[in-house]
Amino acid sequence: MAIALPRPDLQPPPTTDDSRDRGGKAQPLLIVENLRKHFPIRGGALNRKIASIKAVDDVSFVVLKGETLGVVGESGCGKSTLARVLMGLVAQDQGRIIFDGELVGGPHGLSLRDLRRNMQIVFQDSDSSLNPRLSIADSIAYGPRVHGMSRAQALSLAHDLLRRVGLDPALFALRYPHELSGGQKQRVNIARALALDPRLVILDEAVSALDKSIEAQVLNVLRHLKETLNLTYVFISHDLNIVRYVSDRMLVMYLGEVVEIGPTDAIYRGPKHPYTKALLESRLGADPRHRVEAAPLAGDAPSPVDPPSGCRFRTRCLFAEDVCASKAPSLGRSNNHGAHLAACHMGDPQSGHSRASLAPAPLPRVADAVVC
Ligand SMILES: Nc1ncnc2c1ncn2[C@@H]1O[C@H](COP(=O)(O)OP(=O)(O)O)[C@@H](O)[C@H]1O
Ligand code: SF4
Ligand SMILES: [Mg+2]
């Protein structure tokens, strides 16, 4: 694939026709099938594997072209591991990743090098990706240089990208990371991520460490870049207010699994999974204008080393019944990528759960539910 040449003028590239597009809008940009990543825990005299952390367990979803897919869930549920596996930074144990119709990895698949031209990541820690010994312009130019671009072209591209993220190259190109604020560094990281002209950018808590006012500015930069550069985002965040603001669809993770996925508006209007509902009520509970009698989500999540049998949420679920311990609910699949799906027996008329019915009723407020 050709590397995009620097764009010295600031005319936005065409947003409709991407010459790299293979299957049109109907073909998801990313298809993730049955992805699994378990981290071994070693111990004993022989340092053998004694257990494993089920960080990502049988995760399947798609990312549509041009959308922002929000990924939410409590700390430790596997969001960053999922992002790292997608980027090829850690190898999956199982599962397939398909980028615009092309399998990633394997003898005939897309190489990691090609994948990284198409897909980039911005982490929460704005220092982690910047080499303290490289100037800002050299940091941004580094990726294109590795991929064969001349130094002059790469620096010209770096200047253009600095402008695009709202930093004047005359003021910032020759500075070093320690001379920048957190918000400025994160803008540089975004510029770095864009230097290879990717189609998909994973933002892993990319604005979470910023002050609220700076966060809003960086979110606006991201929105503008998405529109002008024809980007697709996977937006990982623990902040449900921001996810609602930026995402077209969202995916909810719990203990390494996807428990709900669907259009953001539909999920906020009527969450189908008790965990999602509790997360959304926790968000309201944090607002002093809303009174809550009981914490919607009590206690910590169980250990991902030994997750509960059946439904992993059952130890915290107010609606858990025997079937929830004996059988894992399935998220199901739909040919409609905009479908609203949840992995809960209450939504499956065949499950045997007493609340399951052919016409699913909206979930009661967590505070009103009877504890089983
Ligand atoms: N490199 C690693 N080695 C061992 N365990 C890890 C590693 N990275 C993450 N984990 C574990 O995997 C689980 C998921 O972590 P992570 O993906 O960082 O969650 P999140 O981003 O949702 O907070 C956690 O239990 C974490 O401790
Ligand atoms: S399957 Fe059972 S335990 Fe799991 S979320 Fe649904 S009702 Fe709760
Ligand atoms: Mg994380």
101-160 pLDDT per residue, tens = 999 998 999 999 999 999 999 999 878 889 999 999 999 999 999 999 999 999 999 999
73 is a domain residue:
yes
The dihedral built from the CA positions of residue 221, 227, 229 and 235, taken in this order, carries a sign that is positive
Once rounded to an integer, what is the mean pLDDT over residues 282-294? 63
Which protein residue has the closest C-alpha to ligand 1 atom 18? 80
Number of domains in the chain: 2
Question: Residue 59's domain spans which residues?
Answer: 30-247
The ligand 2 atom nearest the CA atom of 323: 2
DSSP states of 189-226 as a string?
HHHHHHTT--SEEEEESTTTTS-HHHHHHHHHHHHHHH
186 is a domain residue:
yes
Average model confidence (pLDDT) across the chain? 89
pTM for the whole structure: 0.90
Residues 235 and 308 in one domain: no
**CB-based contact 237:72 (threshold 8 Å):** yes
Structure tokens at 172: 């910032």
Q: Does residue 14 surpass a pLDDT of 60?
A: no
Return the pLDDT at 365: 59
Residues 211 and 286 in one domain: no
DSSP strands (E only) in the chain:
30-43, 48-63, 68-72, 94-99, 102-103, 119-122, 200-204, 232-236, 249-254, 257-263, 341-342
257 is a domain residue:
no
Residues 163-212 have pLDDT tens digits of 999 999 999 999 999 999 999 999 999 999 999 999 999 999 999 999 99
Return the pLDDT at 39: 98
Return the pLDDT at 13: 42
Assign residue 333 a region: left if phi > 0, alpha if psi is -120 to 50, beta otherwise? beta
Q: Does residue 284 surpass a pLDDT of 80?
A: no
Whether ligand 2 lies within 6 angstroms of the CB of 314 is answered as yes
Residues 90 and 172 in one domain: yes
Residues 61 and 140 in one domain: yes
Residues 94 and 150 in one domain: yes
Return the pLDDT at 141: 97
C-alpha pair distances (Å), 171 with each of 138, 142, 156, 168, 224 = 14, 19, 15, 5, 22
Q: Does residue 5 surpass a pLDDT of 70?
A: no
Ligand 1 geometric centre to CA of 53 (Å): 8
Return the pLDDT at 10: 37
Residues 220-257 have pLDDT tens digits of 999 999 999 999 999 999 999 999 999 999 999 999 99
**What's the one-letter identity of residue 114?**
D
119 vs 301, residue with greater confidence: 119
Whether ligand 2 lies within 6 angstroms of the CB of 345 is answered as yes
Distance CA 182, CA 84 (A): 23
